[in-house]
A and B are shown apart, each in its own frame.
Chain A
Amino acid sequence: MKNTLLAVLMGALLVLGFAPAGHAEVGVTDTEIHIGQWSPQTGPAAPWGAVARGTDAYFKWINANGGIHGRKLIHHYFDDAYNPAKTIAGVKQLQEQTGMFAWVSGVGTACGLAVKDYLMERQIPWVGPSAGSRHWVTPPQKHLFNVYPLYLGDAQLLTEYAVTEMDKKRIAVVYQEDDYGKQGLEGARHVLEQHGMELAAKVPVSISDTDMRPHTMKLRQAKADAVLVFVTPGHVARLLGTGKAMNYEPQWMSTTTCGDFPLMIAITKGLYEGVITASFGMAQPTGNVGGIEHINNPKNKLMAKYKTEVYDAYAADDERWGYTFTTGIGLAEPLVEAIRRAGRDLTREKLVAELEKMENFQGLMGRITYGPYDPDDPLCRIGQQEIFLQQCTADGGSKILTDWQKTEFIPMSE
């Protein structure tokens, strides 16, 4: 009799003991939510490592203000040196040994592509890859929410502005030979075709190439009067410098990636003045077209708040307050908002449901909207589709040239 009672008690204990675990979500405890991220802290792409440090400071600030529904955000970010092999190894390790509830940002198209299938097959939410690639929404994935506007849109808006507002007749594209550069080329061509125009020149740049003389010569030979540049900030600096030395000074235009004006003014010794770039946020263009925004003294109230409460309080002493750092905040905001909206009973399913309900959410970036999952509709996961144009002033300020402009999604050609 005693043995039977003991067996029943043990059985009940087992059932009761394991029951709650069946409902618990990976990476969520009573007091913590574990979020993963990769970024290059070393290697040639290390300047973009500030994205993860921005997210980290943002999470620390949230935790210092009570966390979300009584839980702290535990941020796990690792250095993948911009090497996809390291990205996949690090993501697997963190996911399988520690257990992440979700992943946020993650710098680089190639690095993201290396782990996309791994995360999606396991239905792990991933919000805001830090690259404007069409791969994130082609085809759309139920658990992958894009935030970063596509580079394709940057090219469209820049080309349209050059043709219609600046009356440029010969537009050329300098592009990196990867997804980033090729989207720029495609977007520019798309708009030029609509105007019955052709590219004056298309000049590829190899990422390892440090000598921009032949590229500049090609542009000069083509007599391009506006040049869209889809390369790294370092290549832009070399290109502008070579152009200046060759007495070739077209209207240079570039992407959000090269929109950190204080940095660009410094590394081009002032040559960046007058360059027009796309921007995905950090300033509020509505009602401010023609105005000038300085990142070190932002008029945008949210930027000013993050500068004093997040950057000043939680960034390392040698961290630079710049667009790369703030992008780390902007890309994480939709995830944080969705976790907040999901409430105390947090699951991945609820998180996805809350993200899908998000409409015109605006933090540091532009307005972000998702929709119910539709495998045939990339727009249900595209997030932000609007950008604006800004022009660099002599002291690294941003003169706002346009209001938010919605860009067209062009499907990938097979």
Chain B
Amino acid sequence: MIDFLQMTVSGIAVGSSYALMALGMVLIYKASEVPNFAQGEMALLPVFMAYMLIYTYGQSVFAAFFGALAFAMFLGCFLEFAVVRRAKNPNILGLIIITIGLEMVLLGFVSWKFGADQRVMPFPISSYSSFMFGNVYISTLDLLTLVAALVIMVSLFLFFRFSRLGVAMKATQQNETAARLMGIRTNRVKMITWGISATVGTVAGLLLAPVFMEPYMMWDPLLKGFAAAVIGGMTSLPGAVFGAYIVGIVEHLFGGYVSMEYKAVVAFAVIVIVLCVKPSGLFARHYVKKV
């Protein structure tokens, strides 16, 4: 029983970083209707920038993290403005290829600029400290990630429900032409969505970096985040978070009770099962477009 509890808690812990990536993906999918494969690298570059601010420019950790989040906002906006928007009437495949291209460019830039050496990010909390609840442990960093994921999810939920910009974003996603007719600057809305998405992803990156940093560090969280977003339905913020925790918990229970060899790929088996049973994901609401 203790093992089961520990595996579940550990699954929730790892699911939190997947949740942050999934939230970022869902935001962009809602705005631009494209699964953004550059999501991981849009976080990677700001994370390495934070590292540079600390070690090259002697900034404090808090200043560097704030700088990284601000830069992520700018980077997301810039990529939408300078690259995605320039595509003339792109189909979904074209947009996917653009995001894959962005992913490779950003990864290549980080590898070239910072090198392939492994490193770790300084962090105010030790990545090795933990809380014990009886015999069940959760590391302090995991707990912080869990809190961050839930706070960001609730904040985004409230933002979309109650803020003018959030409602404009929802409107843009549901019917861009009608939104534009209502006076919403849909291009600007999309640009800001990309910025927010990059910022959310960067939170995940900054919480992963104290454990280990290298240019490929965001690839696994991206794939798992994508799996989580698909399970949740790609357009639902709570769905993305729920999907992430399902992926995390299933991974851990599968690794513990069935096979450690296939633990890393079980998330994708979960996607197949979910999509077979509920093709639009667990939390998606269908929008029927009249023609």
Contacts and interface: CB of A to CB of B under 8 A. Distances in A.
A320 to B, nearest CB: 7
A218 interface: yes
B216 A241 contact: no
A93 interface: no
4 closest pairs, A vs B, by CB? A46-B116, A214-B255, A245-B139, A244-B128
Given A43-B216, A47-B118, A218-B260, 15 more contacts: A205-B260, A206-B264, A209-B263, A213-B14, A214-B10, A214-B256, A214-B260, A215-B255, A217-B6, A217-B7, A233-B118, A237-B212, A246-B137, A267-B119, A267-B212
Nearest to A246: B137
A98 interface: no
Nearest to A206: B264
A241 B127 contact: yes
Contacts of B13: 213
Nearest to A213: B10
Contacts of A49: 116
Interface string B100-119: 00000000100100011111
B54 interface: no
B114 to A, nearest CB: 10
A238 interface: yes
Contact of A206 (B6, B10, B115, B263): B263
Interface string B237-264: 0000000000000011001100011011
A204 B211 contact: no
Interface in A254-280: 263, 266-269, 271
Contacts of A238: 211-212
B129 interface: yes
B251 A211 contact: yes
B177 interface: no
Contacts of A242: 139
Contacts of A246: 130, 137
A263 B120 contact: no
B181 interface: no
A286 interface: no
Measured as residues with beta carbon below 8 angstroms from the partner, the interface class of chain A is 35 or more
A245 B260 CA distance: 21
Interface of B: 3, 6-7, 10, 13-14, 108, 111, 115-120, 127-130, 132, 137, 139, 211-212, 214-217, 219-221, 251-252, 255-256, 260-261, 263-265
A210 B127 contact: no
Interface string A16-54: 000000000000000000000000001110110100000
- Of A46, A177, A233, A238, chain B has the most CB atoms within 10 Å of the CB of A46
A132 to B, nearest CB: 21
B220 to A, nearest CB: 5
B252 A214 contact: yes
A15 B165 CA distance: 86
Interface in A213-255: 213-215, 217-218, 221, 233-234, 237-238, 241-242, 244-247
A269 B10 contact: no
Contact of A204 (B116, B117, B260): B260
A88 interface: no
Given A47-B117, A233-B118, A209 B130 contact: no
A318 B56 CA distance: 14
A208 interface: yes
A74 interface: no
Contact of A234 (B118, B137, B260): B118
A247 B130 contact: yes
14 contacts: A46-B111, A47-B214, A203-B260, A208-B264, A210-B221, A211-B220, A214-B256, A234-B214, A237-B211, A238-B212, A241-B128, A245-B137, A247-B130, A268-B120
Contacts of B214: 44, 47, 234
A213 to B, nearest CB: 4
A247 B137 contact: yes
A269 B123 CA distance: 11
A99 to B, nearest CB: 31
Contact of A218 (B219, B256, B265): B256
A247 B129 contact: no
A50 to B, nearest CB: 9
Contacts of B137: 245-247
Contacts of A217: 3, 6-7, 10, 256
B69 to A, nearest CB: 22
Contacts of A241: 127-128, 211-212
Contacts of A268: 120
Contact of A269 (B128, B217, B251): B128
Nearest to A215: B260
Nearest to A268: B120
- Of A203, A214, A271, chain B has the most CB atoms within 10 Å of the CB of A214
A46 B13 CA distance: 30
A249 to B, nearest CB: 10
A206 B139 contact: no
Nearest to B129: A245
Contacts of B120: 237, 266-269
- Of A233, A234, A245, A318, chain B has the most CB atoms within 10 Å of the CB of A245
A62 B289 CA distance: 72
Given A234-B118, A267-B119, A214 B263 contact: yes
Nearest to A207: B264
Contacts of A271: 128
B252 A204 contact: no
A17 B255 CA distance: 70
A246 B217 CA distance: 22
A208 B212 contact: no
Contacts of A247: 130, 132, 137
